[in-house]
Chain A
Amino acid sequence: MRPVNTPWKGSEMSSCFKIFKNLYRDSVSLMQVSARISKLPGVAQASVAMGTEANRAQLRDAGLGDAAGAGPNDLIVAVAGDEDACELALSTAADLLSSVEEADSAACNAKAAVVSLQAMLEAEPATNLALISVPGDYAAAEAEKAIRLGMNVMLFSDNVSLQQEKAVKTLARERRLMVMGPDCGTAIVNGMPLGFANVVRRGAIGLVAASGTGLQEVTCRIDQLGAGVSQALGTGGHDLHEEIGGISMLHGLDALIEDAQTRVIVLVSKPPAQAVAEKILARARAAGKPVVVNFLGAEPALIERWGVHVASTLADAAERAVALLKDVPPAINDDAREVAAREALVERRSQLAPRRRYIRGVFAGGTFCYESQLICQRQGIVAFSNTPIKGNHPLDNVWQSTAHTLVDMGDDAFTRGRPHPMIDPTLRNERIVAELRDPETAVVLFDLVLGYGAALEPAAELTTLIGDASRTGNDLPLLIAHVCGTDADPQNRNHQIHALREAGVLVANCNAQAAYWAAYVANLQKAE
């Protein structure tokens, strides 16, 4: 190692480098090392590059020293920053480079990297499902490849046109295969969670859903009620569009009808096109098994006449399915949700200033936002939203709430260039804090979505922020939440609920209950 003192932006900073003779590491490993050391405190610049003449010249020009002793096949690690930080960075790099092999090997033991579908089939000929998550431009072509190779497809990607979706699904139907998606975020197939799925026990209730968080809510509620899930199949949000014709939901429904493990079937979607709904309900009527249908916001009578069981909310769908499975009446009804907590709500609401009149819903789950709007509307509350249901109003500025506002923070406007709030809740938490500070907010209504792929400690940062807000001495609005998940999830639902309650949040059993509570409080404030 050769330390070199180099002036940098007016202050005395060190730069130094280390040459690793004839060291070959793949590019991904080199990038990982570079990223790790560049994030160390006090490191201003870091470079990990092969010692070619061109790279040595670049290092010299960048003030990172003259690694004249390096040859093209040597690896140079060069850093600039505080002297101690540079020393630490070089020793860290040395450790990482020597441990890359072990780290990679561990990963390799878990699962070999596969970069093409054909290669996957060559390695594992029994493979019959491809999970595709690539930018939307490539997604349809990759899905078509998988189908032609005889695989079912879970298409995590979004930004696939209806035309492409129809082509892919038609091809799959011809080959008796299923396409889950596009924009299918969750599924459970033969007990294997895919995407943002939760850890639920296996059982006899099968689901087909055109809504990701809707499917999560129903499966989690089933688990909470002591039953289990045979299969949970996603279709993507556009499947029940007239142009697609519900191809995937029909395939999924048929699969569950044929599946001996499945004794009760649940279908979840926003209201489909009428012709599509009739096709699906006709098939459901002939299923030979009880079918619970939750077409969020659809007129119950129009569904009921097909001889299926109508659920008014996601949680209600789970409760009805479990009741059918156990051959008992449903354990709870919608009215009871509100009454159960009325006393606590009245007591907490009595501390609210009269100017606090509005619900501010901040959701990570798009379907939770949709269902909450429906429930609030049924309670006479017309709201603004970035994804308004019929009868509600679009927000002029999605970053700014007005009157009653319920926002889906997973919508494109908030996730362009950023992770989804289920993965990184930072932006969602900032919005919650902003709503807490608004003197007109009566209730901040929100969700925490747990499961594979979701943030590991979603309540931690949020409760800290709530604590900070409460220490300002100002009165705060009510906080009402629900946690979608199970105790077996990596985040442990019970642990998250406990953290929220410790921070003063009222935690409902399900999204519908949380929305009822919020509407109840808002209506009390309005009456005053």
Chain B
Amino acid sequence: MAGGILTALSIGYLVPQMLQQPIHFMTHSRFRHAINLVSDDVGMMALLGAASGNAPKAIRLNLPTDWDWRRLSGDRRVTWGNGVLLGHGWSVDVRQASLWSPQRDGIQELREPAPRTLDKLAQVLGTHSREQRSCNLSSVFVGSLSLGWNGLSATSSPALCEERVRAWIGCGPGLTPSGDDYLLGYLAALWPWQRHPDLTSHLECVRELLKKYMCGTTDISRFYLGQAVEGHFSESIHDLIDAVIRHATDEETSALAADVMNHGATSGADAMAGILGGLRTVASVFHRRWSGSDEPSMPCPQETYGMATHEARDASCKHTMERQ
């Protein structure tokens, strides 16, 4: 595979302020169609393939079909200047790229999420969970949320929130562990309703806890959580939340949920579980529909490993329940 001049399709809305002056990046990690760059000055930025949705700190590229970032060995340095990212054997001209920025126009008043939408999301998450389980990819967050479990609520005490966030950060399989993905989704769902008097303090509590404990997870996960605590989320998550706010049709909402869940092996589904959990929290402050208990039960965290055997999984879950 030869390197080359790559075309930038779109840039996230936080990218321009990162690239205001010449910068020296280092390659942090490389995947087939994604590469993460990091700089002491501006932090991390991602270059993604066209198939990915937009993200606030990402540039989407039109990559040749045989492109594989991992096969570009050598110098890890990447420089930015004059509208061009320049790596070893490749360059990206971003001057013609469009700017992606989420729009949420025309919504004057935030209504509660429609109950039928929550039911629909639980249904599609349940379907997804069953399909994942058949591939041994099921996550405890996905399975539990689709069955009605909610780990946090607006009435959870700060101590309980801290217990949950601390337990979930960095917990589970994947490069971005399941717990992180769940929390990111949870925060995304709460964000638009941040000014609701019954949600402000809960959201602020979760944000602060994430800031406090996110040092315990992977660099890449921290990159996304760091954006989340400031209210910045990917295009697919934004579009789904927007559809929920607009009370869009079930078909549209389901399709957007599928876009979210299609991300990664389990990350998308875990984030979707978090979104559903967050929306239930929002709904509960309108109707106390999901709040039920001030101390929702913990899911079985071992299951997030996708243990090799059902027996092992059952044994681990039993152990965890007993420990509580």
Mask, B115-152, CB within 8 Å of A = 1, is 00000100110011011001111000000000000000
A-B contacts, 10 of them at CB < 8 A, read A30-B265, A31-B137, A53-B170, A61-B319, A72-B218, A122-B62, A123-B51, A137-B120, A137-B127, A138-B251
Which positions 259-298 of chain A face chain B at CB distance < 8 Å? none
Q: Select which of A24, A62, A113, A138 is within 8 A of B33 by beta carbon.
A: A113
What 12 additional pairs, Cβ within 8 angstroms, besides A50-B175, A101-B68?
A26-B265, A27-B175, A30-B174, A47-B307, A50-B218, A54-B167, A111-B65, A112-B65, A112-B66, A119-B52, A142-B258, A145-B255
- Is the CB–CB distance between B32 and A105 below 8 Å? yes
A79 smallest CB distance to B (angstroms): 8
Binds B, one of A37-45, A374-382, A440-448: A37-45
Q: Select which of B68, B169, B171, B217 is within 8 A of A58 by beta carbon.
A: B171
Which positions 22-62 of chain B face chain A at CB distance < 8 Å? 29-34, 49-53, 62
Which positions 84-124 of chain A face chain B at CB distance < 8 Å? 101, 104-105, 108-109, 111-116, 119-120, 122-123
Closest to A120 in B: B51
Q: Once the chains are docked, how many angstroms separate the CA of A113 from the CA of B167?
A: 34
B262 interface residue, CB < 8 Å from A?
yes
A312 interface residue, CB < 8 Å from B?
no
- Is the CB–CB distance between B302 and A73 below 8 Å? no
Q: Once the chains are docked, how many angstroms separate the CA of A26 from the CA of B29?
A: 10
A130 interface residue, CB < 8 Å from B?
no
Binds A, one of B153-161, B276-284, B290-298, B308-316: B308-316
B31 smallest CB distance to A (angstroms): 5
Asked whether A105 and B62 contact (CB < 8 A) given A116-B53, A145-B255, the answer is no
A5 interface residue, CB < 8 Å from B?
no
A135 interface residue, CB < 8 Å from B?
yes
Q: Select which of A45, A58, A111, A145 is within 8 A of B309 by beta carbon.
A: A45
A46 interface residue, CB < 8 Å from B?
yes
Asked whether A137 and B254 contact (CB < 8 A) given A27-B175, A49-B177, A116-B259, the answer is yes
- Is the CB–CB distance between A34 and B306 below 8 Å? yes
B250 smallest CB distance to A (angstroms): 8
How many residues of chain A are within 8 Å of chain B by beta carbon? 56
Mask, A51-94, CB within 8 Å of B = 1, is 01111001001100000000011000000100000000000000
A73 smallest CB distance to B (angstroms): 5
Mask, B213-231, CB within 8 Å of A = 1, is 0001111100000000000
Q: Select which of A25, A30, A109, A141 is within 8 A of B255 by beta carbon.
A: A141
B34 smallest CB distance to A (angstroms): 8
- Is the CB–CB distance between A122 and B168 below 8 Å? no
Q: Select which of B127, B216, B308, B309 is within 8 A of A54 by beta carbon.
A: B216
Q: Once the chains are docked, how many angstroms separate the CA of A145 from the CA of B174?
A: 31
- Is the CB–CB distance between B51 and A27 below 8 Å? no
Q: Select which of A30, A39, A45, A122 is within 8 A of B9 by beta carbon.
A: A122
Chain B residues with CB below 8 A from A28, complex form: 264-265
- Is the CB–CB distance between A55 and B170 below 8 Å? yes
A134 interface residue, CB < 8 Å from B?
yes
Q: Once the chains are docked, how many angstroms separate the CA of A330 from the CA of B65?
A: 48
- Is the CB–CB distance between A54 and B168 below 8 Å? yes
A125 smallest CB distance to B (angstroms): 11
- Is the CB–CB distance between B32 and A114 below 8 Å? no
B266 interface residue, CB < 8 Å from A?
yes
B301 interface residue, CB < 8 Å from A?
yes
Chain B residues with CB below 8 A from A26, complex form: 31-32, 34, 175, 264-265
A140 interface residue, CB < 8 Å from B?
yes
Chain B residues with CB below 8 A from A43, complex form: 308
Chain A residues with CB below 8 A from B30, complex form: 24
Q: Once the chains are docked, how many angstroms separate the CA of A215 from the CA of B296?
A: 54
A164 interface residue, CB < 8 Å from B?
yes
Chain B residues with CB below 8 A from A123, complex form: 50-51, 62, 65
Chain A residues with CB below 8 A from B9, complex form: 122
Asked whether A119 and B65 contact (CB < 8 A) given A31-B266, A72-B217, the answer is no
Q: Select which of A30, A54, A61, A108 is within 8 A of B66 by beta carbon.
A: A108
Q: Once the chains are docked, how many angstroms separate the CA of A283 from the CA of B263?
A: 46
Q: Select which of B49, B52, B124, B218 is within 8 A of A52 by beta carbon.
A: B218
Closest to A137 in B: B254
- Is the CB–CB distance between B251 and A141 below 8 Å? yes
- Is the CB–CB distance between B127 and A135 below 8 Å? yes
Q: Which 5 A-B pairs have the closest CB atoms?
A: A52-B170, A38-B308, A141-B255, A54-B171, A27-B265
Mask, B163-205, CB within 8 Å of A = 1, is 0000111111111110100000000000000000000000000
- Is the CB–CB distance between B305 and A49 below 8 Å? yes
